[in-house]
Structure 1
Amino acid sequence: MRLLTWPQPKLAGESPGPSSLAKAERRAGPAGRFGPTLSDVLAYWGSKSYQGRTMTSSQTLPELVNAAQTAAKASQDRISAILEHAQGQPLSDAQIKEVTSETVAIELAAVDIFTVFEARMQRHFKRGPLSRKVEARLSAAGHADLAHRLHQYYLAINVLKHGTGASHRELLSAKKPMFAVIQAAEGPARAEGAPSGLIDVMSPRFFDGLAETILEAFQFLENGQG
């Protein structure tokens, strides 16, 4: 038996267990600056399945967000059940493995759904860093709160993908953080398949807030408010 811990990253790195979507993103340019092509995203989602809920390219963005949110909640519920069963005692190796797997699943679901949002909304803009263009358009239209939330999640997704760096430092310096951001501990680099350990994705509010932000930004753009 040992306490539930996982390595904290020392240097920037990629998200654990990169999906085919993440690989497509890396093909798009340095640090995935412009994101994957729409065909890459649709090909990816055409075969993606979360907790038995198959994602297809024919589904709308709200449907994909709902499916990802449902899957994330299922992972959060399993983690909560494991911790509750342990009753404050050290977790077994098997329990640690399951909690780690579910945490990584939530991280990857967050990265994937945000990337799909960016890819599908790219048609509203010329080629470039979409999230920042959406933020600017939201702010200009008087939606400063939504612009702020979108920016915070944009930074969080960068941290989940790449580890420590400018996005992590900006989140740490936030006066009123939207979610828990963890200071990277000195030590060995993150083990293969381990959670990033930098963003508390196990809090239900993290994924719920991400889904709400994506859907509000989607409605803003689709309704031609920008």
Structure 2
Amino acid sequence: MAKDFSSQQVVDGYDQHIRKLIPGYELAHQQILAILQGYLPEKSNVLIIGAGTGYELGYLLQAFPKCRFTVTELSQPMLEKARHYAAPWNADQRVNFVLGPHTALTEQGGFDAVLSVLVTHFVPFCEKLGFLQGAQQCLKSSGIFLTFDLMQFHDQQEAMALKRLCEMNGLAEKQTQAMLHRMNDDFYALTELDTLALLQEAGFKQMSSFTQILCYQGFIAGK
């Protein structure tokens, strides 16, 4: 059964659980930060699709003190968690919190970067193109899109490697078994080739992978 992100219990336990569930979770975020530091103008507008509990918003607010941010989230408890977490670095109200989809912001456009971290794999296959087109339409002509998501397993060995790695990170075997079942039933993972093709169909250019940790992979694309 899919996680219920409207559940306060799920939201409260998310930050601790995600670091056991996603290999290299913090390393992936460090890479995203390093990429943005090389791309973003000093004063930029950044869109984060899927605020989660606000982890990436928090470090980006600190790293880019002159930037403004818009974060979208479909879960009210998640959005409130992000708002609370980011409050120490948002005294000057640089963040616009939006309860709803990023596709509602396409006419606004004007973002120097759009981030989708651990979000796209939740989007059903039939909706992925519209999801990515919405992200592309939110960007400035010089903007960049960064995504980091679960990909399809290459084989059973990769699935078992992920299971063992998550257990090394602190998940119980019962939890890793449930994780593998969820990956089959609750996620809409693509292959690398399908991801690149879909990004191109959505209007992105110069797509490439910037990181991979087993079946989790990050992509960067320009408009």
TM-score scaled to structure 2, two decimals?
0.28
TM-score normalised by structure 1 residue count: 0.28
Of structures 1 and 2, the one with the larger relative CO (CA 8 A, separation 6+) is 1
The structure whose residues are more often strand, as a share, is 2
As a proportion of its length, which structure holds more helix?
1
